[in-house]
Structure 1
Amino acid sequence: MSDDQAPALSHEEIEAIIAKTPFAVWVGARLDIYRRGEVEISIPMRRELTQHHGFGHGAIIGFLADSACAWAGASVAGDVVTSEYKLNLVAPAVGQTLVGCGSIVHAGGRQVVCRADLYAIASERRKLVATALATIVQVKR
């Protein structure tokens, strides 16, 4: 991806999508970095987002992985939906914040392959908790 190209959707357009997505609002998703081919989103952890051991729930990690990949894909393809994703959980998600870093692996035609690495931030220490690979598809209207 060329760094000098503008994203297909603007930062404001992605934030508007977040604002009108009730689940994203409920979890507190925030767009921290948004460039063509790259995003970073975060979720402040709270008790309602954990499972019975107190770790970040897999559903929240899945949301973060899906969103990081989809928003990275949207930066090159515009309006998109997720076609599929695979998620590997590698460590318990324990911390004050969860962060998803999404990037483009390959963009071609209407399909964008993306990856996301997900981290738990605890006392300013960043620990990898999951990684995902997704196929994101441009919506044709």
Structure 2
Amino acid sequence: MDLDLARKILAEQPFSRLLGARLTAFGDGEATLEVDIRPELLQQYGFVHGGVVSYAADNTLTLAAGTVVGPGLITSGFTIDYLRPATGEVLRAHAEVVRAGRTRVVCRCDVSTVSVDGDETLCAVAQGNIAVIESKG
């Protein structure tokens, strides 16, 4: 699977379109997804809602898996630890494959925020188990 196909798959997800998610890097066991932080994605304290942070981790874990096993994947489970409130201009999730098997791919993901000055702050870490639901060919 290449970057263009991965972007097409992301664009087919209504929720990803709603959030304005964009795939900025894809290949060699890694993927990076970004979402611009805007008021409607915040919770009552002014931080990015945990559901948005989880979405970013979930999709990026699966996208990273897709770099090594192709499309036809679905998240079978993941854990996330929120380290600090997410504030800034951009939410950035970067995932990498830990181990790719025939039916499961284990990945880990760092979710950071990017300030207007370009400084990154780690706000969550996640690990996921991605199920292969379709074979490559």
Conserved 8 A contact 1:120-1:129: yes
Q: For residue 63 of structure 1, what is the aligned residue in structure 2?
A: 55
Q: For residue 138 of structure 1, what is the aligned residue in structure 2?
A: 132
Q: Distance in 2 between matches of 1:42 and 1:90?
A: 18
Amino acid at match of 2:80: L
Unmatched 5+ stretches in structure 2: none
Amino acid at match of 1:27: L
Conserved 8 A contact 1:77-1:110: no
- Superposition deviation, residue 113 in structure 1: 0.2
Q: For residue 118 of structure 2, what is the aligned residue in structure 1?
A: 124
Q: 1:37-90 deviations in whole A, cap 9, x for unaligned?
A: 001110000001010001000000000000110000111112200000000000
What's the Cα RMSD here? 0.9
**For this pair of structures, how many residues does the alignment match?**
133
Q: Distance in 2 between matches of 1:112 and 1:128?
A: 24
Q: Distance in 2 between matches of 1:53 and 1:138?
A: 38
Amino acid at match of 1:19: A
Q: TM-score if structure 2 supplies the norm length?
A: 0.94
Amino acid at match of 1:39: A
Q: For residue 38 of structure 2, what is the aligned residue in structure 1?
A: 46
Unmatched 5+ stretches in structure 1: 1-8
- Superposition deviation, residue 36 in structure 1: 2.1
Conserved 8 A contact 1:29-1:43: yes
SS in 2 for 1:16: helix
Q: For residue 3 of structure 1, what is the aligned residue in structure 2?
A: none
Q: For residue 66 of structure 2, what is the aligned residue in structure 1?
A: 74
Q: Distance in 2 between matches of 1:20 and 1:111?
A: 23
Q: TM-score if structure 1 supplies the norm length?
A: 0.92
SS in 2 for 1:92: coil
Aligned residues with identical type, % of pairs: 31
Conserved 8 A contact 1:86-1:132: yes
